[in-house]
Structures are given as C-alpha cells and as structure tokens.
Amino acid sequence: MGNTPPSNLPFLARVGVALRCFWQALTRPEFARQARALLGPGVAAAPAASAAVPPEQAQAPALHLLSLLQREGRLIDFLQEDIAGFDDAEVGAAARVVHAGCRRVLTEGLTLEPALREADGASVTVPAGFDAQRIRLTGKVAGQPPFRGVLRHHGWVATAVQLPTLSPALDPRVLAPAEVEL
C-alpha cells in the first residue's frame, strides 16, 4: 500500500508511553533534554508531567499492606534474607514470628472465606454457568457443565476489606523506617 502513515496507537499503549516518558524524563537528563526539544516551545507551561500521580501514590494501598506485614510480621526482613545457610529450627522460629504477625494483619484487615465451602477432598458438582473466577477446572476438562469432580483446594475470597485509611502525608515508599536508638 506504499506510503500510508503508521496507524495510531491505542489509548492504553499511549498511557504506557506517557508513563515511560515521565520516568525517563525524571531519571535520564539526556532523555529530558530530547523530549523538551520534541515538545517544542512553551514546554515550561505544559502541565502534563505535574498532573500525573506519582506511581508510589497510585500504589499506596499495596505498599502500605507490605509495610503492615513487615511491621507486624517482619515479612520483608524474612523474604530479603538468604535462608539457605540456616537450619530448619532457626527458619521455624522465624516463621512463627512471621506467621503470628502476618496472620494478625490478615484477620484485622480482611474477611476471608473459602470460595467453596466443602472440605478439600470432597466430591463437588460444578454447575452450569459457574463463576470461572471462583472455580478453576483441572484434570480432564471436556464437555459441558455440570461437572463432577474432587475439590483439591477450596480457594479463598476476600468478602470484606477493613484496611486502615492512610494520611496523604504518609510517604508510602517507606516500608519500614530505620530505627536509631538514642
């Protein structure tokens, strides 16, 4: 077809490019200089960059959940450590700390229920029109529902979320502050 112009990027792809430009401009002075030239005169007044939510604010609830798991259960300390050199007794002792604290975060912040009420190993019927997000079929999957099968894992569904509310003054990137004893 010769010289047809390339087709326009879809919206989501453009969001991706915008975010990458944002980061690249922030982190690479050379990119920022080139982008400025590309944008042409009047770039100083362009609000595009300043209007974007910083990524850490967009992800604040996820980062905060991590900080809760660290504060109550030392999860990040545990995962960041190389456990290969320690014996099972030491790993087990640490796991108790992680388990007790992270469990507290889960029970206080979420109401969890199994996706299916039957016990693991029970025979279950998967009805026609089942919720494919709540039930995953494994093994010999063929034909049309209803299916008969054995429950291998009852799944988990969060039926309520009561996570803390966060102040905008909080820097969500700090998952655990450094502690300095005076």
Partner 1 sequence: METRAERPDEGLSRPYAIGIDLGTTNCAVAWAGLAEGVAGGVADFPVPQLQGPGEVASRPLLPSFLYLPAESEFAAGTTRLPWGGEAGPIVGEWARAQGARVPGRLVASAKSWLCHSGVDRTAAILPWGAPPDAMRKLSPVEATTHLLAHLVAAWDHAHPEAPLAGQEVVVTVPASFDEVARTLTAEAARRAGLPQFTLLEEPQAAFYDFLARHRADLAGALSGIRLILVVDVGGGTTDFSLMQVEATSSGPRLRRLAVGDHLLLGGDNMDAALAHWVEDEWRRAGRKLGALQWSLLVQAARAAKEALLGEAPPESYRVAVAGEGSRLLGGTLSATIPRAEAERLVLDGFLPHCAAEDAPGRGARTALQELGLPYAKEPAITRHLAAFLREHAAAGHAALAAEPSLGSPPSAPDVVGQASSLPLEFGHFPADSRPVMA
Binding residues (CB under 8 A) for partner 1: these are 64, 71, 74, 77-78, 80-81, 83, 86, 90-94, 96-98, 100, 108-109, 162-171, 179
Instruction: State the Cα–Cα distance between residues 39 and 25, nearest whole angstrom.
Output: 12
d(CA 141, CA 7): 40
Minimum gap (Å) between residue 122 Cβ and partner 1 = 25
**Each residue of 138-167: b (16+ CB within 10 Å) or e?**
eeeeeeeeebebebeebeeeeeeeeeeeee
Is the Cβ of residue 89 or residue 128 nearer to partner 1 in the bound state?
A: 89
Q: Which is nearer to partner 1, 53 or 89 (CB)?
A: 89
Distance CA 27, CA 100 (A): 40
State the minimum distance, in angstroms, from the CB of residue 163 to partner 1. Answer: 7
| Residue with smaller CB distance to partner 1, 21 or 60 | 60
C-beta of 114: minimal distance to partner 1 in Å? 23
Instruction: Taking each helix axis as running N to C, give the angle between helix 60-73 and helix 88-109, from 0 to 180 degrees, rounded to the nearest 10.
Output: 130
Token pair listed for 107? 């029970």
Pick between residue 23 and residue 86 the one whose CB is nearest to partner 1. Answer: 86
**Smallest separation, CB 54 to partner 1 (Å):** 16
